[in-house]
Amino acid sequence: MLMQTAFIYSDEFAKYSYGSGHPMRPVRLRLTYELIKAYGLLNLPHTQIIEARKATEKEILSFHTREYIETLKKADSGVIPEDAGQHGLGYGDNPVFKGVYDWSLYSAGASVQAAELVSSGKADIAFNICGGLHHAMADKASGFCYLNDAVIAIKYLLNMGKRVAYVDIDAHHGDGVQAAFYNTDKVLTISLHETGYALFPGTGFPEETGTGKGRGYSINLPFPSETDDEVFVMGFEEIVPVFVNKFKPDILVTQLGVDTFRTDPITHLNLTTNGFEKMIKGFWALKLPWVALGGGGYNLSNVARAWTLAWAIMNDVDIKEKRLPIEYLESIAGFGVDENLRDRPFTIAGNEEENMIKETTSVIEKLKRSILHSV
């Protein structure tokens, strides 16, 4: 029997801007939605399209501090508040722009909607492409993220009495989510990412395993820079099914960042749609109620193509076409979207690949020896 799926979206997602030159471009969400629609993947008999709503203040205060939220509200005007600096707001990564609070409320609200749909049984899988803003901390913005929608959604699920496994495949370590649940055994956090020695936020090392009741419930698998599909997917297959199945969650929450791709402008990994599809199929094969969130991805073409492929897999649809629909390409002319849906395979050659495999295998073995028994 086909799974019931829900796609949560609003035209409001793409109406905001971090400013010219900033790598985070919300227009990527509209490009993704339009490509999914072009393939007819929103007209499937078992699919719902849900209009995204803003999160309530009560929902966001389940994680964020009142002081931070009041400052973020003031920043919504586009003028930098006096106390912005102490909350990570201002210039650079986390600019203050008109509507920053409203935009963040849509991201968080849509993730809570996904959690509501899945926990209630109204959907087996729910996808919020505007979610996955995994760096925001309780009292400050970080790494392009203002409200941590993943944490807020997981907090909702915990209040429903659910046991949650969170798996993050973004190039950047999911530090905000890990920090929120570092001392609990009710949430298993797994993050696969580029090593913190080379990439923001500089965390996510194997030794970060949790504290108190949470010891053994934070799993980190960092990869060397330049890692390709073969090595990253090997790590995924060795870690994710084993730890998730051992933990026995009620619900799976995933962050599906695509800044791992070799053409992403701000990271140093070499994944393609080929490895990404394998991991999405790996999530699907777990057969768990699934809250899927977006995440990083700063090449607009990669975001639209990869999340379209992800949504297809969630609906058990295999898109055969090699080239994107011509009408879609015409409608988004000027955004530089690739004409092909899938990338050509790419593999690092020679000794470098062998060394990456050895290094990653060594970390996997240590993780399994040291903390698998705790979960």
Nearest to residue 133, comparing CAs of 192, 101, 175, 102? 175
* Sheet hosting strand 164-168, strand order edge to edge: 47-51, 5-9, 125-128, 290-293, 251-255, 164-168, 187-194, 218-223
Cα 311 off chain centre by? 14
Q: Hey, what are 212's tokens?
A: 């108190």
Cα distance between residue 291 and residue 280, in whole Å: 13
* CB distance 134 to 174 below 8 Å: yes
Active site residues: 135
Residue carrying the six token digits 């102490």? 86
Nearest to residue 168, comparing CAs of 191, 136, 135, 188? 191
The alpha carbons of the chain give a radius of gyration, in whole angstroms, of 19
Report whether the peptide linkage leading into residue 201 is cis, meaning its omega lies within 30 degrees of zero: yes
